Amino acid sequence: MIFLMSIDSDLLGTLMKCTIENSPKFLLHINDVVYPLIEVSLENSPIPVNEPTTRGGVYFSEKFAYKMKGAVEDLSVVPLLTKKMLGPNTEFGELRISGEMQFKGKTISVNVFTNLTNSVQTPNSIELNMIVVNLELI
């Protein structure tokens, strides 16, 4: 199965601007459990490929990707992330992150769907590095 990224660029641009200016609240949803996601950032950055490619036969990567970073302070999430991580695990799953923001003069709810690329655990939290694969207005 190959996943292609199709994202509303206006909505994504607004979300990026909102994360810088307003620090909206985001929630990470895994297995019917909700975890607050803090210190969220979103940026468009280069991917280390020379041309658009299918990576590992699993997902499609452009030369640039929208990357999302955030941390969870509840470390009970760690075992749930194992099957969500890209890498040697080809049966990974998307992470759903919900939040609210201002868009075209209205408060809207949005779901951000991501692939987890890596994580860094500290004694107090786990930092998640993700690639945005889809946005959905709720």
Q: CA–CA separation, 74 vs 126, rounded Å?
A: 8
**Closest by CA position to 73, among listed 110, 21, 128, 114:** 128
**Closest by CA position to 55, among listed 43, 66, 47, 45:** 47
Q: What is the CATH number of domain 9-137?
A: 2.30.110
Beta strand 106-121 with 64-72 is: unpaired
Q: Where are the domains of the chain?
A: 9-137
**Closest by CA position to 30, among listed 90, 87, 93:** 93
Using DSSP, state whether 87 is helix, strand or coil: coil
Residue 123, CA distances (Å) to 75, 83, 115, 117, 126 in order: 9, 22, 24, 20, 8
pLDDT string in tens for the chain (138-residue length): 333 345 667 777 777 777 777 777 899 999 899 999 999 988 877 665 445 455 445 444 555 678 899 999 999 999 888 777 766 556 667 899 999 877 777 888 889 999 898 899 999 999 999 988 888 888
Q: CA–CA separation, 113 vs 95, rounded Å?
A: 6
pLDDT at 4 (0 to 100): 38
For residue 14 the two structure tokens come to 């607004």
Give the global pTM.
0.78
3-state secondary structure 21-60: HCCCCEEEEECCEEEEEEEEEEEEEECCCCCCEEECCCEE
